[in-house]
Structure 1
Amino acid sequence: MKRLLVLSLTLLLAAGCASQTKLSAEDRSSLDRDLTTGPAAVRYLKVSSYVTPFFGDGSKRLLTPYPPEEVRLLNDTKGQPLNPGPIQTLVPAGTQVRVLKVEFPTSWAIAERVLYSPRTQPWVYLQVEGAPAGSPIILVLPPRLDTREDVRAELDRHLLVQDPAPRLGKFAARFREALQQKRVLEGMPEAALELSWGAPETIRRTLDGPRVNQEWVYPGGKRRVFLTDGVVTRIDEGAGATEAPAK
């Protein structure tokens, strides 16, 4: 009787959680197989990222390029973004990772996931080199990835196929050190900025004669970086700003 009750409850939960993926079962299986076996499973972190708790699911950890207060994966009942929890460790750009599993938000998967988690989005389970041992580390992909190509393209935005060490080695030593610490420095080239802080929420571009000015605004609008001709000139983290001397 108890087993029947548990089964009935599971079926009710699944019925109330509509699938959030348009990928067929065959596409999901082949993608998971292609991305988790052989050399394709070994990738490299594109952006220096944090490991944090996974919202209400104590059995997992979150990998995110943004500090917890800027994470925009889950809202509370008032529509405000939920903070996943404090930073546990920092993983620098170029760190090797292994893709262990790609889990899509089918009705069954959603029913099994913790309520207060981004359960309607695809999850990529990772083994992250150098990260403290513990519960699985999850990279959450955005919703509405309707094709195999969509999933691969989104994964490529976060995890590189080729080791970026040669590219990182071309940056000045002080910029390489900043990347290890997820910091941004004046004079840093645009490419290094993105490797350190990740892509901004918005970019505002203006022209000043022949110069191209950019303002990178990160989620929540607190952090802003100003660039001229692809070089960082000012960093504003909300509690004050630093500016490069005029040339």
Structure 2
Amino acid sequence: MKRLLALLVLPLLALATGCASQTLLSAEDRTKLQRDLTTGPSSERYLKASSYLTPFFGDASKRLLTPYPPDEVRLINDTQGNPINPGAVQALMPAGTKVRVLKVEFPTAMVMVERVLYSPRTLPWVYLDVEGAPPGPPVVLVLPPMSKTREDFLAELDRHLLDHDPAPRIARFQPRFQEALKQKKVLEDMPEAAVEMSWGAPESIRRTLDKQQVNQEWIYPGSKRRVFITDGLVTRIEEGAPPAVAK
């Protein structure tokens, strides 16, 4: 009887709070992704870009993992439509850090009922064990919404987590660039690949051709940071002050 009441009450609660499923993936695909990503060798992955640990907005029971400074995070907005800052940086985890996928949670109506209101509750959450992270609440990587297929979801995950150790690739960079990755910095003459491993993928890229030279302008969220690249090497960096680490 109690189980029957629970099955009746939870859907009604979801309707009362205005929650509708925010995933297009079938139940079968969700179950398969959860199984495949949390068991065996595929659960072990590596950070593609140096990333910050921050608070998880209004949910003190979790921490956010993001390649972007807190003031560039674009996951939820306030009532005025402005992005909400998740909180001060707590730690920096360099590119290549080993992680293990613990759980994949999709924003079904039932799940969203249980999530804190002022959190990215309509997006998929991937719970991670991050090697070397300071002790604290579970770490969550938030992915974009509305993947239509299993392949779409895996492609989004691959933008953040590698299925192979990037250490051999990092070792080919000059020592000063290897050190820059650990500090999440971009330096002049840094290769394009190292830029992405340090700052993460840009929000947009502008490309121009000047005779035989290929010029790129990498623009990060909020247009506060820009990297200018010519023929695969950094020529100029524009950025504000780096975020302070909370003490």
Please say whether Structure 1 and Structure 2 have the same fold, judged by a TM-score greater than 0.5: yes
Once residues 155 and 84 of structure 1 are traced to their aligned partners in structure 2, the CA distance between those partners, rounded to angstroms, is 21
Matching residue of 1:216: 218
Matching residue of 1:22: 24
Matching residue of 2:149: 147
RMSD value, Cα: 1.8
Supply the AA of the counterpart residue of 1:63: L
Once residues 40 and 62 of structure 2 are traced to their aligned partners in structure 1, the CA distance between those partners, rounded to angstroms, is 25
Shift of 1:27: 1.6
Once residues 88 and 238 of structure 1 are traced to their aligned partners in structure 2, the CA distance between those partners, rounded to angstroms, is 19
Matching residue of 1:225: 227
Matching residue of 1:67: 69
Structure 2 runs not aligned, ≥5 long: 242-247
Q: TM-score, normalised by structure 2?
A: 0.92
Once residues 41 and 207 of structure 2 are traced to their aligned partners in structure 1, the CA distance between those partners, rounded to angstroms, is 40
Shift of 1:104: 0.3
2:16 matches 1:13: no
Structure 1 runs not aligned, ≥5 long: 240-247
Supply the AA of the counterpart residue of 1:172: Q
Once residues 30 and 208 of structure 1 are traced to their aligned partners in structure 2, the CA distance between those partners, rounded to angstroms, is 48
Counting only pairs closer than 5 Å after superposition, residues 103-182 of structure 1 correspond to structure 2 as 103-182=105-184
1:99 corresponds, among 98, 101, 105, to 101
Shift of 1:193: 0.4
Equivalenced residues, count: 237
Counting only pairs closer than 5 Å after superposition, residues 24-43 of structure 1 correspond to structure 2 as 24-43=26-45
The alignment-based identity, stated in percent, is 73
Once residues 208 and 171 of structure 1 are traced to their aligned partners in structure 2, the CA distance between those partners, rounded to angstroms, is 27
Once residues 75 and 9 of structure 1 are traced to their aligned partners in structure 2, the CA distance between those partners, rounded to angstroms, is 30
Matching residue of 2:244: none
Q: TM-score, normalised by structure 1?
A: 0.92
Q: In structure 2, the residue corresponding to 1:60 is in which secondary structure?
A: strand
Once residues 7 and 59 of structure 1 are traced to their aligned partners in structure 2, the CA distance between those partners, rounded to angstroms, is 26
Supply the AA of the counterpart residue of 2:47: L
Once residues 12 and 230 of structure 1 are traced to their aligned partners in structure 2, the CA distance between those partners, rounded to angstroms, is 55
Deviations 1:184-242 (A, max 9, x none): 00010000000000111111111222111111111001111111111001111147xxx
Matching residue of 2:199: 197
Once residues 212 and 230 of structure 2 are traced to their aligned partners in structure 1, the CA distance between those partners, rounded to angstroms, is 10
Supply the AA of the counterpart residue of 1:13: L
Supply the AA of the counterpart residue of 1:215: E
Q: In structure 1, the residue corresponding to 2:193 is in which secondary structure?
A: helix
Matching residue of 1:90: 92
4+ residue runs over 6 A deviation = 4-9
Once residues 5 and 27 of structure 2 are traced to their aligned partners in structure 1, the CA distance between those partners, rounded to angstroms, is 28
Q: In structure 1, the residue corresponding to 2:159 is in which secondary structure?
A: helix
